[in-house]
């Protein structure tokens, strides 16, 4: 199978009946992403900026960050790179920024931290916007959004950074490109605010890892409850379907960047729901591409309809395993 799978690396991710899906990469290490250029993906769907913040003893300067981000943006010059603003807290900590809380996953995390520390946020988005000068392939993505006011506040800060940088730029250097801004859908509450959120942003990207954790109230890293953590849970699948339907209705480009995208059965369900951009770790791209190239979009929709009618995650697993056997 590995040989079979490798053969499709450079081919497009397109179903047997012609539905094209964009496969993108999840990345974060400042070194080691170059080999991902050849993984068969068409861009970076999630660049986790907190990763290069981690193995250090102090916050990186604006200059350091600008160099990192330029390195990434210029490695993928013709492809979109979606950079997520700092997403620490929860399970990710910085040695020089300790957070002690009883419930870190429900606490000070992601956008909540950076809005409380606008100096950290402004420095980071300034570095991103500077790095994007002469590139114009940057998108900025905001993690852990739970309300529209967080989006408004974050966009205000990004605009501030953009206008300040624009006024600092010598005229002969041209105009700074304005990045598209999107949010992660990973806190269940946003499912009931999609209309208001859609008016504010350029794209949505579902973080199915956190969405599953919060929807089912199961810690994604706790082995004792690991069997309850399941992206095939009917509540998760129905939430994902609602998000796809509503994003379509409000015409917001939608992607998914959690682990569910790299699960073959998950990918089939997602593409049938209308997710036409899936972002995953580089080593999963070829396998998912192989699955997409061997399935019919119309057939995937039939599979989805049946999967959505099932009552337990176990039934969904059983049913998808049967269907995957048929694909090969």
48 binds, options ligand PEP, Mg ion, none, Cβ within 5 to 8 A by partner type: ligand PEP
Residues composing the chain = 328
Q: Is 188 in the site for Mg ion (CB under 5 A)?
A: no
Minimum separation from the CB atom of position 207 to Mg ion (A): 4
50 near Mg ion, rule: CB under 5 A: no
CA atoms within 13 A on the CB side of 27: 30
Nearest approach, Cβ of residue 238 and ligand PEP (Å) = 17
How far apart are CB 222 and ligand PEP at their closest, in Å?
15
Which of the stretches 5-13, 130-138, 202-210, 265-273 binds ligand PEP when contact is defined by CB under 6 A?
202-210
Among 188, 258, 264, 282, binds ligand PEP (CB under 6 A): 258
Mask 200-239, x = binds Mg ion (CB under 5 A)?
A: -------x--x-----------------------------
Instruction: Establish if 147 lies at the interface with ligand PEP (CB under 6 A).
Output: no
Strands 43-48 and 22-27: parallel
Q: Cβ 2 to ligand PEP, closest distance in Å? A: 26
Q: Which long-range contacts does 221-227 make (Cβ < 8 Å, 24+ apart)?
A: 221/91
Residue 9 contacts by C-beta under 8 Å, 6 or more apart in sequence?
A: 38, 39, 40, 285, 286, 289
Does residue 185 interact with ligand PEP by CB under 6 A?
no
Q: Which residue is nearest to ligand PEP (CB)?
A: 207
Backbone angles phi, psi at 284, to 5 degrees: -95, -10
Give the distance between the most distant pair of CA atoms in the chain: 63
C-alpha dist (Å) from residue 112 to 46, 80, 152, 202, 272: 19, 26, 13, 21, 33
* Contact residues: ligand PEP, CB under 6 A: 46, 48, 87, 186, 207-210, 257-258
């Amino acid at each position: 199978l590995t040989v079979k799978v490798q053969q499709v690396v450079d081919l497009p991710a397109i179903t047997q009946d012609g539905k094209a899906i964009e496969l993108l990469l999840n990345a974060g290490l400042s070194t080691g992403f170059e080999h991902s250029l050849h993984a068969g993906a068409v861009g970076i769907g999630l660049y986790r900026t907190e990763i290069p913040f981690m193995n250090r003893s102090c916050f990186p300067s604006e200059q350091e960050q600008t160099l990192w981000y330029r390195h990434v943006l210029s490695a993928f010059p013709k492809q979109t790179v979606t950079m997520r603003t700092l997403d620490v807290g929860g399970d990710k900590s910085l040695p020089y920024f300790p957070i002690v809380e009883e419930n870190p996953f429900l606490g000070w995390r992601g956008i909540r931290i950076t809005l409380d520390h606008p100096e950290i946020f402004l420095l980071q988005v300034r570095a991103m916007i500077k790095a994007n000068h002469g590139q114009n392939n940057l998108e900025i993505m905001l993690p852990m959004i739970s309300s529209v006011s967080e989006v408004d506040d974050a966009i205000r800060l990004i605009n501030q950074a953009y206008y300040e940088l624009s006024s600092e730029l010598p005229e002969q250097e041209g105009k700074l490109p304005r990045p598209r801004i999107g949010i992660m859908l990973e806190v269940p509450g946003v499912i009931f605010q999609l209309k208001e959120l859609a008016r504010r942003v350029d794209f949505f990207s579902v973080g199915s890892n956190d969405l599953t954790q919060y929807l089912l109230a199961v810690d994604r890293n706790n082995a004792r409850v690991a069997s309850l953590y399941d992206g095939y849970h009917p509540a998760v699948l129905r939430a994902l379907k609602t998000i796809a339907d509503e994003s379509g209705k409000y015409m917001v480009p939608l992607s998914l960047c959690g682990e569910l995208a790299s699960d073959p059965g998950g990918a089939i369900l997602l593409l049938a729901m209308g997710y036409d951009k899936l972002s995953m770790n580089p080593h999963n791209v070829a396998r998912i591409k192989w699955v997409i190239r061997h399935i019919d979009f119309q057939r995937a929709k039939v599979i989805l309809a049946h999967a959505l009618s099932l009552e337990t995650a176990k039934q969904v697993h059983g049913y998808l395993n049967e269907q995957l056997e048929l694909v090969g």
